[in-house]
């Protein structure tokens, strides 16, 4: 909670300073994303090796750290095959359409607290768009074009099926992805990502609890959007070789690969920003953080060390989600296609619609009751976020219980199954009794 | 007002240049030439049978249509969601009617079997 005394306007940057800092940020972000993606491929192989009790890549450099570089060089120098019947332009355009949105989407994610410079306060986000999340949703869904185009242009049956599956799956889960974010917009009142972080600081609760349903659905959808296990049907090896990129080789294949890992990185960063408070540090939000409200900066004077520490916090949260992505890949088996579609259309769509209505009613009821974001019960329990959180966790529990239908949670089969079994036993006993009586008489 | 879009355009340009660079570089450095066998579509080592762009299930098409309906719903809900607290219960009622109509549509297509895959 920001004290009234600390509110002060801090000078914005001049045009020249903005231009210079923007170029630095663009180049840095691009480089960091590419390097992190390269390291993620190594991390994935190391994690899979660890989970399967193997060594993993360990020949290139200490601990295999040079493996991504060697892979990249190999991919550039390898021979490129081009299927004779493939549609030439589209075949080349597809990997490009896949990699470009993947690298651009990171631009709107704020990765640290605003940094003080001699020329004014620098927001630590490449492009602080007023339409932040909308831009992200729009651009990340452009990746569908690349994948469907690759599948069609390859003139290969496996590729075509993989591309179609990927297209249908990604657009199906995009609805749940978009609807799950509605609840956040109720309280944020804006679609900018820095505002999402700022609202989480004001409310004193991170949104993974406040909007538990949104968190769960967004997370599940992000697995489907990145085509990773358990949703990797587009590249189901046992049925479709490698799906839409079966015909791709050398650097073009590598581009799909880079795009996938860039998506994993962006989605993890997005999950951290939307639901884990972004660069926010727990129990520190009242001290020195800056926010942008009503066209000006409010809060205490920023400091360089705060920017660095908040960046570290953001990096750790993102890393946690990335590691979970990889652990899940080597833990959960692949779904069947009808299961994937059922989860998206029959469970997540109606449930997220219901969640939107219930959350909206809760928000309006809290407003009618005159509760503010800053209100704390007993001095530290956030009221607004707490009530929303309790309602959301209850809704999530209902969804999980409904999906489970007594299979996992009760561990002894569903209620219907148990009833059927009881009936069967009763009937058998009755027959036994009858024969026994007949034998006596 | 348009200032934040400039760095975005720069990043977009950088990504496009990077993508073109990758494609061109691998084409230039790629050794060997195409032979008839090499450029045949991969079909587990067999001679490809039939048309590779064969007909596919109409289900994919149905999913695309349904996606448009519900994606537009999401887009229409968004302005309400952003200003829900200012619009109050009147806005909630209006959005509720909108969601109700689309939910009826969802139930209809569900009962029609448009969501079944088998």
Residue A434 falls within a domain, yes or no? no
Instruction: Report d(CA A65, CA A59) in Å as an integer.
Output: 9
Residue A152 sits at the chain B interface (C-beta within 8 Å): yes
Taking residues B53-77, what's their average pLDDT?
85
Confidence (pLDDT) at A318? 93
Average pLDDT, whole number, for chain A? 82
Residue B78 CA: distances (Å) to CA of A182, A189, A210: 7, 10, 19
Q: What is the mean pLDDT of residues A116-133?
A: 80
- What band does A294 get if pLDDT is binned at 50, 70 and 90? low
pLDDT greater than 80 at residue A439: no
- Report yes or no: A278 and A289 within 8 Å, Cβ to Cβ: no
**pLDDT above 90 for A320:** yes
Whether the per-residue pLDDT at A134 is higher than 70: the answer is: yes
Instruction: Tell me whether residues A338 and B116 touch, CB distance under 8 A.
Output: yes
At residue A2, does pLDDT exceed 50?
no
With cut-offs at 50, 70 and 90, classify the pLDDT of residue A324. very high
Taking the C-alpha atoms of residue A200 and residue A169, their distance in angstroms, rounded to an integer, is 31
Averaged confidence pLDDT in chain B: 84
Q: How far is CA A61 from the centre of its chain?
A: 32
The interface pTM score, or ipTM, of the predicted complex is: 0.88
**pLDDT reading at A9 higher than 70:** no
- Flag whether pLDDT at A117 surpasses 80: no
Is residue A230 reached through a cis peptide bond, with omega within 30 degrees of 0 on the bond before it?
yes
Tell me if A430 is assigned to some domain: no
Mean pLDDT of B11-24: 90
* A417 within some domain: no
What are the residues facing A382 on neighbouring strands?
A376
One-character DSSP codes across A139-166 = HHTTHHHHHHHHHHHTT-HHHHHHHHHH
Q: Which two tokens stand for residue A287?
A: 């001290």
pLDDT of A195 strictly over 70:
yes
Task: Go through chain B and tell me how many residues it has.
Answer: 118
Q: Where does the pLDDT of residue A321 fall: very low under 50, low under 70, confident under 90, or very high at 90 and above? A: very high
Residues from chain A contacting residue B22 (CB–CB below 8 Å): 99, 251, 254-255
**For position A289, what pLDDT does the model report?**
61
Strands A381-382 and A376-377: antiparallel
User: Which residues in chain B are closer than 8 Å to A30, comparing Cβ atoms?
Assistant: 11, 14-15, 18
Q: Does A387 reside within a domain?
A: yes
Q: What is the pLDDT of residues A341-371, one digit of tens each?
A: 888 888 889 999 999 999 999 999 988 888 8
- Residue A268: pLDDT over 90: yes
How far apart, in Å, are the Cα atoms of A147 and each of A98, A225, A259?
A: 7, 12, 11
A118 in a structural domain: yes
Q: Specify if A240 maps to a domain.
A: yes
Q: Is the pLDDT of residue A168 over 80?
A: yes
| pLDDT for the residue A1 | 37
Q: From the candidates B2, B49, B81, which should be mutated to test the interface with A, based on the most A CB atoms within 10 A?
A: B81
Q: pLDDT tens-digit profile of A376-417?
A: 777 778 888 888 889 999 999 888 888 776 565 555 556 677
- Nearest chain A Cα distance for residue B117, angstroms: 5
B30 touches chain A (CB under 8 A): yes
Residue B102 scores a pLDDT above 60: yes
Which of residues B90 and A278 earns the better pLDDT score?
B90
Number of domains chain A is built from: 1
| Residue A426 falls inside a structural domain | no
Nearest C-alpha neighbor of A105 from the set A77, A136, A69: A136
Q: Once rounded to an integer, what is the mean pLDDT over residues A127-143?
A: 85
Cβ within 8 Å, pair B106-A350? yes
Chain A CB contacts of B96 below 8 Å: 357
Residue A189 covered by a domain: yes
Cα A265 to Cα A30: distance, rounded to the nearest angstrom: 13
Which residue pairs, CB below 8 angstroms and at least 24 apart, start in A19-23? Answer: A19/B6, A21/A117, A21/A122, A22/A126, A22/B6, A22/B7, A22/B10, A23/B7, A23/B10
Which residue matches tokens 């009751």? Answer: A369
Q: Determine the residue of chain A that is closest to B15 in CA distance.
A: A100
Tokens 């109050």 found at: B88
Lowest mean pLDDT among A24-28, A248-252, B94-98: A248-252
Question: Could you tell me the pTM of the whole model?
Answer: 0.85
Q: Could you tell me which residues are beta bridge partners of residue A292?
A: A297
* Domain boundaries, position A204: 4-404
DSSP lists the bridge partners of residue A296 as A293
DSSP 3-state of A290: strand
Using CA coordinates, name the residue in chain A closest to B53.
Answer: A155
Q: Is a pLDDT exceeding 70 seen at residue A288?
A: no
The answer to whether the Cα torsion of A417, A423, A428, A429 is positive or negative is: positive
């Amino acid at each position: 909670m920001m004290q009234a005394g600390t509110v002060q306007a801090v000078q914005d940057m001049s045009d020249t300073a903005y231009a210079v800092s923007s170029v630095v940020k663009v180049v840095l972000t691009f480089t960091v994303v590419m390097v992190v993606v390269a390291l993620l491929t190594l991390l994935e192989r190391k994690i899979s090796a660890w989970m399967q009790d193997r060594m993993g890549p360990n020949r290139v450099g200490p601990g295999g750290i040079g493996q991504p570089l060697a892979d990249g060089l190999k991919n550039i120098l390898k021979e490129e095959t081009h299927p004779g019947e493939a549609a030439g332009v589209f075949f080349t355009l597809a990997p490009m359409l896949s990699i470009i949105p993947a690298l651009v989407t990171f631009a709107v994610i704020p990765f640290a607290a605003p940094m003080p410079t001699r020329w004014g306060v620098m927001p630590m986000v490449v492009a602080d768009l007023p339409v932040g999340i909308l831009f992200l949703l729009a651009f990340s869904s452009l990746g569908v074009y690349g994948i469907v185009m690759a599948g069609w242009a390859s003139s290969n049956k496996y590729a075509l099926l993989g591309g179609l599956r990927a297209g249908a799956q990604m657009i199906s889960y995009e609805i749940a992805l978009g609807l799950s974010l509605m609840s956040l917009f109720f309280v944020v009142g804006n679609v900018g990502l820095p505002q999402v972080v700022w609202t989480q600081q004001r409310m004193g609760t991170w949104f993974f609890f406040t909007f538990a349903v949104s968190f769960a659905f967004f997370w599940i959808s992000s697995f489907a959007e990145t085509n990773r296990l358990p949703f990797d049907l587009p590249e189901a090896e046992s049925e479709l070789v490698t799906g839409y990129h079966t015909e791709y080789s050398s650097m073009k294949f590598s581009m799909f690969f880079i795009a996938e890992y860039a998506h994993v990185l962006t989605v993890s960063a997005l999950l951290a920003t939307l639901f884990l408070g972004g660069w926010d540090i727990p129990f520190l939000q009242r001290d020195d953080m800056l926010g942008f409200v009503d066209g000006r900066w409010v809060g205490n004077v920023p400091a360089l060390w705060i920017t660095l520490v908040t960046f570290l916090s953001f990096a750790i949260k993102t890393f946690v989600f990335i590691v979970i992505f990889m652990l899940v890949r080597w833990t959960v088996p692949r779904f069947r296609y009808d299961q994937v579609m059922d989860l998206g259309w029959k469970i997540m769509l109606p449930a997220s619609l219901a969640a939107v209505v219930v959350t909206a009613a809760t928000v309006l009821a809290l407003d009618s009751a005159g509760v503010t974001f800053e209100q704390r019960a007993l001095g530290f329990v956030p009221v607004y976020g707490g009530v929303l959180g309790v309602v959301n966790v209850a809704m999530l529990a209902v969804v999980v219980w409904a999906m489970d239908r007594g299979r996992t949670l009760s561990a002894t089969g569903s209620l219907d199954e148990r009833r059927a079994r009881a009936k069967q036993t009763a009937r058998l006993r009755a027959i036994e009794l009858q024969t026994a009586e007949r034998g006596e008489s | 007002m348009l200032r934040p879009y400039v760095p975005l355009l720069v990043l977009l340009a950088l990504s496009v240049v990077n993508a073109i660079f990758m494609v061109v570089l691998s084409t230039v450095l790629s050794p060997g030439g195409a032979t008839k066998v090499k450029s045949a579509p991969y079909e587990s080592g067999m001679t490809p049978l039939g048309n590779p762009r064969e007909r596919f299930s109409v289900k994919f098409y149905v999913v695309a249509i349904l996606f448009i309906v519900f994606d537009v719903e999401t887009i229409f809900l968004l302005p309400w969601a952003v200003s829900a607290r200012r619009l109050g219960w009147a806005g909630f009622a209006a959005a509720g009617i909108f969601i109700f109509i689309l939910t009826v549509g969802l139930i209809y297509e569900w009962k029609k079997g448009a969501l079944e895959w088998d």
